Structure 1
Amino acid sequence: MEAKYKVLRDNIHHNLWNGIFWAIGFNLVTPFIGVLAARLNATNSEYALLSSVPALLTILVTLPAALILGRFRKQKRIIAGLIVLCRFFYFLLIFVPLLPVSKVMALIVLVGLYNATNTIISVAYQSMMGEIIPLGYRNKVFAQRNMWTGVCGMIVALVAGWGIDRLTYPLGYQLAFSVGFIAAMVETWYFMKLKIPSEDIEPDAPHASGTIGEPASSLPKNNFKSRIGRFKLNVQLPFYLFCGSAVIYLFAWQAAWPIFTKIKVDTLQATNMMISIDAIAGAVGSLIAFRPWAFMADRKGNGFTVFGSALSLALSPFLWIYAPNMIWICFYDFLGGFSTAGLTQAIFNRLLEIVPEQGRQRAIAIYTTLSQVSAVFAPIAGMAMYSSVSYTACMSVLGIGRVIGAVCFLIILFPAVAGWFQQMHRQKGLPR
C-alpha cells in the first residue's frame, strides 16, 4: 500500500513539473502569435483562419489518431514523441518572418499543425490522468497544477513581452520561440517520468484487436461488424447531452476570439509588452480562481460548476462593448481568466466523471472533435458578423449565445430532462 501511494506522490510531482515547463513554452509563443500576425499585415480573413484552420486540422486528425493510439497498450513513448513533434513547430516559427512570400499563410499552417498535434496529446493526457489520479484527488491536484502553471506563465509572458519589444524584429520572436522549444524538451522529460499503471502490468493475453482489456478471440480479425464495433462507445446519455451543450456554448465562445485579437492589435495598437501585461491579467484571474472553483466543484459537483463558470464567462462580450484602451481590456481579461479557469477545469473533470474507463480515450477524442467543429466555423462567422453589423450588436449577439449555451449545461443536469431524452432515445432506438 505504501508503494502505491509513493507512485501516486511521484506522479503528482512529475505532473506538476510537466505542467510548469509546458506553461513556460506555451507563454513564450502563443500570446504573441496575434501580434506577429499583425506585423505580417494579416487581413480580417486571415485572423479568422488563424483560429479556423487549426480547428479544421484538429477535426481531421483527432479521432483517427485516438483510434490508432487505442491499438497500443503502451502509449507513453508515442505521446512523448508527439510532444517533441508538436513543440518542434515552436522552433519552425522562427523562420516565418524570413520567408520571401506567404508569411501569414505559413504562420497559419504552422499554428494549425501545432494545435492539431497538441489536441491529440491533450486527449491522450486526459485519458492517462483519469487512470493515474484517483477521483478523490483530482480537483485538488489539478487546481494545484493549474495554479503553478498560471504563476509561471504570468512571469514568463511578462519577461518575454518586455524582451521582444526591446530586441530588433524578428530577433525577439525567434529567441522567444527557441527558448520555448527548449522548455518543451524538459516538459517531455517529466512526462516520461510518469508511471502509467496499465503500462506497467503485462496483459494476460495478446490483444490482436488493439482494444485494451478484450481478448483477441472476442473480436474476429476479419469480421466487418467487429471493425465497426471499434467506433462504438460505452457511454451513457449524459455524455451525449454534454457534447451537445458544449457545441452550442463553444460556438458562441470561439466566434469572439479573432475579434478580440483584432481589437487588441489593430484597433488599440497593443505592443508585445501590452500583450504580456494582458496575459498576466488573465493569469492572475486564473490563479485566484482555481481553488474557489475546485471548492465549488467539491460542494456542488462538476456539472453545476461547468454551468456557473460558463455563465460568468458569458458576460465577457457585453463588457467588451466598452473597450477604449488596453487598461480596460486587461481588466476584462482578468475576469475572463477567472471564469475560464473554472470552465476548463470543470469540463475536464466532468468528462472524466461521465466517461467510463473502458473507451475513455475514444470518447474524449469524439468530444474534442465535436467541439472543434464549431471552432472551424465560429471564427469565420464571428468575423463576418463583425464586418456586417455594428460592434455593439456583434458583441451582444455573441454574449446572448454564450448565455444560452450556459443554460443548456444547467438544464441537462435536471433528472426530468434526462428522463425525457431517454424516452425519446428508446423510441428512436438510439443508444442510452
Structure 2
Amino acid sequence: MAYKKVRLSEREIEKAKKEALRTSIFEGGASSVMTGTSSYFITPYALALKASNLQIGFLSSFVGLIGPLAQLGSSHLMERYSRKKIVIVSVIIQALIWIPIMLLGVMFYFDIWQNLLPLLLIIFYSLHVGIGAVAGPAWFSWMGDIVPEKHRGWYFAKRNKIVEGIAIFSMFAAGLLLDLFKTKGLVFIGFSILFSIGMISRLYSGRLLSRQYQPSLKLRRGYYFSFWQFLGRMRKTNFGKFTIFISLMYFAVAISAPFFTVYMLKELNLSYTWFTIINLSSSVFSILTYSFWGKITDKYGNRFVIVVSSLAIPLVPILWMFSTSKLYLILIPSLIGGIFWGGFAISTFNFVYDSTKQNHRALCVTYNNLLTGIGIFLGSALGGLIANYGIGIASIFGLNIFLFIFLISGVLRLIITIIFIPLIKEVRITKKKPHMLTRELRPLWGFEHHGLHNFRSSHLMHIPFITSKQIGKFEKIFHE
C-alpha cells in the first residue's frame, strides 16, 4: 500500500522546527553522556592498557584524521539518502563499537595480546570516531535549516551550555567511579561500566534524532565541487582563509593536547577524581560564559569574538608551566582556557554557517574538517615524536618534556593568530565593534555571581556535542 507524502503548511513547519530545536537539546544531552563517561576517558584507558607516549600521540593524531576523511563521502550519501537516515545509522553503528573497545580491557586482564592492545585501541577508537563523523556534514546541514539565522549565536550558546552541563556531571561521576574501582584493583570493570553507559546513551540520542523534524533538501545541479577545486580557491576566498587559520591553529593545539592527560596522571600522579575536577573546571568556566559570547556574536559578529579568543588561547598551555598546585591549575589556566575556548567554539561554529550557502554547506564543512583533521594528525604526531625524542632538547631549557611541549604549542598558536587573523573578514552585517574591548568584556569580570546562578537553575535539567565531537566538536577534543 502506497502512502502519500503529507505536505505541511508554513505554520505547521514553524511549529515542527521549534519542536526540533527542543529535541536537539535533549539529543545533545544524551550524546554528551557518552562524551562524559566514555570518549573523555579514552586516554586514561590507553594509559591503563600501558600505551607509550608515542602511542598516545598517535591515538589523537589518527582520530583527528580518520574523522574528516570519513566525511568525504558524506555529501554523496546525501544525494541518495535523507540527512536523518545518514545521521541515525552512523549514530547506531558508532554506539555499538564501544563493545570491542570494552573487550580490550578483558583481554588485558587475561594477558591476551597485551603488547597489541594499544594498537587495537587506536584502530577501534578511530573507527568509532570515523563512523560518527560521517554524520557530521548531514547533521550540520540539517541543523542549519532548523535554527533561524538571527538567533544562531543565542541558540547554540544555550544548547552548548545545557549539553556541557550534563557532560560535566557525567565526567565527574565517571571519575569518582573509576577511582572507586581502581582502589579495589578493578579499574577495567570501571571502564567497562562507563563505556556501557556511553553506548546506551548514544543509542538513546539516535532514538531522539529519529523523532526530530527534518526540512526537505533539494541539492541543485552543479552544487558539487571537488576537494582539489576547494584547495585551488582557498587563498582567494574568505572561507578558505578561515579554513587555513583553523587548520593551523588546531595543528598547534594538537601538539600539546594529548599530553595534558599524561602530564596530570603520570607526572603529577593525580587521582582520576582530581584529573576530572581540573578538566571539568575549564568546561564549567566555558558554560558560564556561553550566553555572553552568543550575545556578542549576534550583536557584533563572529570575527570579533574569534580575534579576542584567539589572542588569549596561546596563553593556556604556557600557564601550565608555572605551578603544579591543583588550585592554581583550576583558577588560572583552566579559567582562562574555559572562558576563551568557549568564545572560540561558538564564534568559529557560527562563522561556518554565515560563510556558506545551504547547497554548499555540507561540502564546505567536510573540506574544512578534513584540513583541520590533517592539522590535528600532524600536530599530534609531532607532539608524540617530541615526547619520545625531545627530552635532551627540553633539558637545555630546564624543562621536563611535557612543559617543553606546552611551550612549543603556545608559541605556535600565537604566531598563527598574528599572521592569519588579519586576513579573515566578517560576513555578517552587524553593529559597529566597541571602541574599547573592556566595554563589552566587562560582564566577564563579574561572571561568577550571575553565572553560578544560571548554572544552578538551568543545568539541573540537561546537557558535544563536542565534538563530540565534534566539535564540537572541535574545542572539546581538547580539555586544557
Residue 126 of structure 1 corresponds to which residue in structure 2? 140
Equivalent position amino acid for 2:258 in 1 = P
Equivalent position amino acid for 1:191 in 2 = L
Match status 1:95 vs 2:95: no
RMSD, aligned CA: 2.4
TM-score (norm 1): 0.85
Match status 1:381 vs 2:382: yes
Deviation at 1:408, TM superposition (A): 4.0
- For the residue of structure 2 that corresponds to 1:19, the secondary structure is helix
Residue 222 of structure 1 corresponds to which residue in structure 2? none
Q: Aligned partners of 2:63 and 2:178: how far apart in 1?
A: 25
Can you list the C-alpha shifts for 1:272-302, whole angstroms capped at 9, x where unaligned? 2123212321221121121121122122211
Q: Aligned partners of 2:88 and 2:191: how far apart in 1?
A: 26
Match of 2:24 among 4, 12, 15: 15
Equivalent residues in 2 for 1:247-396, closer than 5 Å: 247-331=247-331, 332-386=333-387, 387-388=389-390, 389-390=393-394, 391=399, 392-396=403-407
Greater Cα shift, 178-187 or 323-332: 323-332
- For the residue of structure 2 that corresponds to 1:133, the secondary structure is coil
Deviation at 1:73, TM superposition (A): 5.2
Can you list the C-alpha shifts for 1:245-274, whole angstroms capped at 9, x where unaligned? 112211111111122122112101222212
Residue 172 of structure 1 corresponds to which residue in structure 2? 190
Residue 112 of structure 1 corresponds to which residue in structure 2? 126
Matched-pair contact (CA < 8 Å) for 2:311–2:414: yes
Deviation at 1:43, TM superposition (A): 0.8
Match status 1:399 vs 2:410: yes
Residue 430 of structure 1 corresponds to which residue in structure 2? none
Q: Aligned partners of 2:105 and 2:81: how far apart in 1?
A: 42
Q: Aligned partners of 2:300 and 2:52: how far apart in 1?
A: 45
Residue 169 of structure 2 corresponds to which residue in structure 1? 155
Q: Aligned partners of 1:325 and 1:383: how far apart in 2?
A: 26
Equivalent position amino acid for 2:179 in 1 = D
Equivalent position amino acid for 2:27 in 1 = N
Residue 62 of structure 2 corresponds to which residue in structure 1? 53
Residue 420 of structure 1 corresponds to which residue in structure 2? none
- For the residue of structure 1 that corresponds to 2:97, the secondary structure is helix
Match of 2:36 among 6, 17, 27: 27
Q: Aligned partners of 2:227 and 2:319: how far apart in 1?
A: 46
Q: Aligned partners of 1:270 and 1:37: how far apart in 2?
A: 16
Deviation at 1:2, TM superposition (A): 3.6
Residue 79 of structure 2 corresponds to which residue in structure 1? 71
The alignment-based identity, stated in percent, is 19
Deviation at 1:376, TM superposition (A): 1.1
Deviation at 1:93, TM superposition (A): 2.0
Deviation at 1:128, TM superposition (A): 1.4
Can you list the C-alpha shifts for 1:210-257, whole angstroms capped at 9, x where unaligned? xx133xxxx7xxxxxx99779756997111111111122111111111
Equivalent position amino acid for 2:170 in 1 = V
Matched-pair contact (CA < 8 Å) for 2:175–2:272: yes
- For the residue of structure 2 that corresponds to 1:198, the secondary structure is coil
Q: Aligned partners of 2:381 and 2:167: how far apart in 1?
A: 29
Give structure 1 stretches of 5+ with no counterpart. 204-211, 220-225, 416-432
Match of 2:94 among 72, 86, 96: 86
Match status 1:240 vs 2:240: yes
Residue 207 of structure 1 corresponds to which residue in structure 2? none
Structure 1 228/198 Cα, relative in aligned 2: closer, same or farther at 3 Å? Answer: closer
Match status 1:411 vs 2:422: yes
Give structure 2 stretches of 5+ with no counterpart. 1-9, 427-480
Q: Aligned partners of 2:187 and 2:153: how far apart in 1?
A: 42
Matched-pair contact (CA < 8 Å) for 1:83–1:118: yes
- For the residue of structure 2 that corresponds to 1:404, the secondary structure is helix
Q: Aligned partners of 1:69 and 1:337: how far apart in 2?
A: 36
Equivalent position amino acid for 2:165 in 1 = V
Matched-pair contact (CA < 8 Å) for 1:15–1:194: yes
Deviation at 1:91, TM superposition (A): 3.1
Greater Cα shift, 186-195 or 362-371: 186-195
Deviation at 1:382, TM superposition (A): 1.9
Can you list the C-alpha shifts for 1:172-201, whole angstroms capped at 9, x where unaligned? 1101110111111111111112212115xx
Matched-pair contact (CA < 8 Å) for 2:94–2:132: yes
- For the residue of structure 2 that corresponds to 1:195, the secondary structure is coil
Equivalent position amino acid for 1:339 in 2 = F
Q: Aligned partners of 2:240 and 2:227: how far apart in 1?
A: 18
Equivalent residues in 2 for 1:177-256, closer than 5 Å: 177-198=195-216, 212-214=219-221, 237-256=237-256
Structure 1 123/275 Cα, relative in aligned 2: closer, same or farther at 3 Å? Answer: farther
Structure 1 69/317 Cα, relative in aligned 2: closer, same or farther at 3 Å? Answer: same
Deviation at 1:399, TM superposition (A): 1.1
